[in-house]
Amino acid sequence: MFYDTFDLVRARADTPGVEHVVHLNNAGAALAPKPVVDAMTSHLNLESRIGAYEAAEHAQESIDHTHDAIAALLNCTRFEVAILDSASRAWAMALSSIPLRAGDRILTSAVEYGSNYVSLLHLAQRLELELEILPVDEHGLVDVMELEQRIDERVRLIAVAHVPMHDGLINPVAEIGRVARRHGITYLVDACQSVGQLPVDVAEIGCDLLVGTGRKYLRGPRGTGFLYVRREIAHQLTPAILGLDGAEWLAGTYRLAPGARRFETWETNCASRIGLGVAIDYALGWGVERTSRQIRRLAQDLRRDLAGIPGVLVADRGRERCGNIALTFEDRDPYAVRENLQRAGINTWVCLENAACVDMQQRGLSTLLRISPHYYNSPEELARLCTTLEEIMTVRRVARVVA
Ligand SMILES: *Cc1c(COP(=O)(O)O)cnc(C)c1O
């Protein structure tokens, strides 16, 4: 009934991996669609035949296109986009470029990704900044009223994850953006879990900086990340580290590249960069609104079914939850459950505390089993997950009774 309007047959026909595995680790790295795999292997082949620099010249148009694809995805211009080798790198470069001094305050959320949070701690220590965690409402979302209360002239940066790595919640990034804009505070959004999963529009969010990664819901290659830098503030931002694409060397001095380009390095994995562009074109071809609805439908049904399995607890929160489902177990180690599922051909992932240090610690969680469906997953696959999980839970219980 629900799924009839979505062309699942085409989605699966385009995804070679579905023949081999039930892939429910899309928040980790999704299965790439065939056009992405083809574009990348064909470029690698070209590099091996004619030389890598020469292959890059040959494929210049496809390589350049990736900036346009990201701009189309985020609703910005290509000059506001930098492509890097990971979102962590992009995020750290963005942070390093913001002028901050002792006594400045940074407001951030409890669900920030581990490497971002560690970077914040490191910088706060080095520069004597005050790092503050924003309170959340009953759904686990950043409380925007509380945020507004905390603002004074010393707050220089608001950094928030749109969707965390370990939870289905969706932070109110556009409402936070309105507060940031009203007070003229630099606003950095981590959209790693949302790009490709939810519509992400930088104009609507009202952010100054935003990072995304290629391999997750966008279904692009590993080792790709990107940074959006709003045109109006790019000239105020100087990344701590420059490369040959970030600056022009002028015999004895240098000039920073305009716009977001100053955040880039010259060297890049061309096959991956091409693959990222193709992945985004592919996602836009489906329409992110449409695939987003499908992901949320699947996740909603799956949460309900998982919650019905004895011993399984759905731990994620949110007012309107997305595709990232988090489970804990009454008497099972998430690692053992994952291993059993993997043996049955079902991919899931275990999130550790460093997925979102502050939040996991506050809630007394050390590990979670994350199940993250994508639009190409079928209802049959999700039913298979539930049956297998039910078996895993039962075997254990029987074994305990016998013992
Ligand atoms: C994966 C992830 C990151 C880091 O992305 P990389 O490309 O692996 O550096 C940051 N934030 C969130 C919320 C993530 O899920």
Task: Return the H-helix or E-strand segment holding 394.
Answer: helix 379-402
Find where tokens 């890059």 sit.
56
Q: What value does the mean pLDDT take over residues 228-247?
A: 92
Tell which atom from ligand 1 comes closest to the C-alpha of 27.
Answer: 15
Tell which atom from ligand 1 comes closest to the C-alpha of 90.
Answer: 9
**1 has a pLDDT exceeding 50:** no
Mutate to test the pocket of ligand 1, among 70, 83, 84, 88 (most ligand atoms within 8 A of CB): 88
Cα dihedral 180/104/240/174 (nearest 10): -10
Q: What is the DSSP string of 159-194?
A: EEESS-TT------HHHHHHHHHHHT-EEEEE-TTT
* Secondary-structure class of domain 8-32+287-398 per CATH: alpha beta
Report how far residue 120's alpha carbon sits from residue 108's, in angstroms, rounded to the nearest whole number. 9
Tell which atom from ligand 1 comes closest to the C-alpha of 162.
Answer: 13
Tell which atom from ligand 1 comes closest to the C-alpha of 214.
Answer: 7
What pLDDT does 97 receive?
97
**Residues 43, 271 contacting (CB under 8 angstroms):** yes
Tell which atom from ligand 1 comes closest to the C-alpha of 112.
Answer: 13
Find where tokens 């992932």 sit.
349
Tell which atom from ligand 1 comes closest to the C-alpha of 111.
Answer: 13
Q: Which residues in 134-160 are b (16+ Cβ under 10 Å) and which e? A: bebeeebbbbbeebeeebeeebbbbbb
Closest residue CA from atom 3 of ligand 1: 192
Q: How far is the CA of 300 from the centre of ligand 1 (A)?
A: 24
- The residue ranges of every structural domain in the chain are 8-32+287-398, 35-285
Q: How far is the CA of 12 from the centre of ligand 1 (A)?
A: 26
Cα within 13 Å of Cα(298), Cβ side: 30
**3 has a pLDDT exceeding 90:** no
Tell me: the pLDDT tens digits for 244-272?
888 998 988 999 999 999 999 999 999 99
* Secondary-structure class of domain 35-285 per CATH: alpha beta
Tell me: the pLDDT tens digits for 164-208?
999 999 999 999 999 999 999 999 999 999 999 999 999 999 999
Given pLDDT bands bounded at 50, 70 and 90, which one contains residue 243?
A: confident
The dihedral through the CA atoms of 335, 336, 338, 342 has a sign that is positive
Q: In sequence order, what are the residues at sequence separation of 6 or more whose Cβ sits closer than 8 angstroms to the Cβ of residue 115? A: 88, 91, 92
Q: How far is the CA of 213 from the centre of ligand 1 (A)?
A: 7
Q: How far is the CA of 307 from the centre of ligand 1 (A)?
A: 27
C-alpha 219: how far from chain center: 11
C-alpha 242: how far from chain center: 25
SS3 call for 35: helix
Integer CA distances (angstroms), 169 to 2, 146, 161, in order: 23, 18, 10
- The residues that bridge with 371 in the sheet, in sequence order, are 325
Residues within 6 Å of ligand 1 by CB:
86-88, 113, 161, 164-165, 190, 192-193, 213, 225
Report how far residue 231's alpha carbon sits from residue 77's, in angstroms, rounded to the nearest whole number. 9
**Residues 348, 341 contacting (CB under 8 angstroms):** yes
Mutate to test the pocket of ligand 1, among 25, 192, 211, 359 (most ligand atoms within 8 A of CB): 192
Closest CA to 385 of 16, 11, 25: 25
Closest residue CA from atom 15 of ligand 1: 165
Angle CA(251)–CA(252)–CA(258) in degrees, nearest 5? 75
Report how far residue 382's alpha carbon sits from residue 386's, in angstroms, rounded to the nearest whole number. 6
The dihedral through the CA atoms of 128, 129, 130, 131 has a sign that is negative
Token pair in block for residue 85: 């080798």
Residue 185 φ then ψ, to 5°: -100, 135
Find where tokens 């050390």 sit.
366
User: What is the value of pTM for the model shown?
Assistant: 0.96
Closest residue CA from atom 1 of ligand 1: 192
Tell which atom from ligand 1 comes closest to the C-alpha of 225.
Answer: 7
Closest CA to 88 of 192, 167, 220, 234: 192
Q: In sequence order, what are the residues at sequence separation of 6 or more whose Cβ sits closer than 8 angstroms to the Cβ of residue 127? A: 100, 101, 102, 104
**Residues 25, 257 contacting (CB under 8 angstroms):** no
Token pair in block for residue 273: 């960069």
Token pair in block for residue 375: 């639009």
Q: How far is the CA of 46 from the centre of ligand 1 (A)?
A: 31
The reply to whether 8-32+287-398 and 35-285 are identical in fold is: no
Q: How many residues does the chain have?
A: 403
Q: CB atoms < 10 A from the CB of 202, how many?
A: 23
**399 has a pLDDT exceeding 70:** no
Q: Report percent pLDDT > 70 for the chain.
A: 97
Crossing angle of the two packed helices 270-286 and 288-307, in degrees rounded to 10: 80
Report how far residue 71's alpha carbon sits from residue 69's, in angstroms, rounded to the nearest whole number. 5
Amino acid of residue 26: N
Tell me: the pLDDT tens digits for 307-357?
999 999 999 999 999 999 999 999 999 999 999 999 999 999 999 988 888
Q: What is the DSSP string of 223-264?
A: S-EEEEE-HHHHTT---SS--TTTEEEETTEEEEPSGGGGG-
**402 has a pLDDT exceeding 80:** no
Closest residue CA from atom 5 of ligand 1: 87
Mean pLDDT of the chain: 95
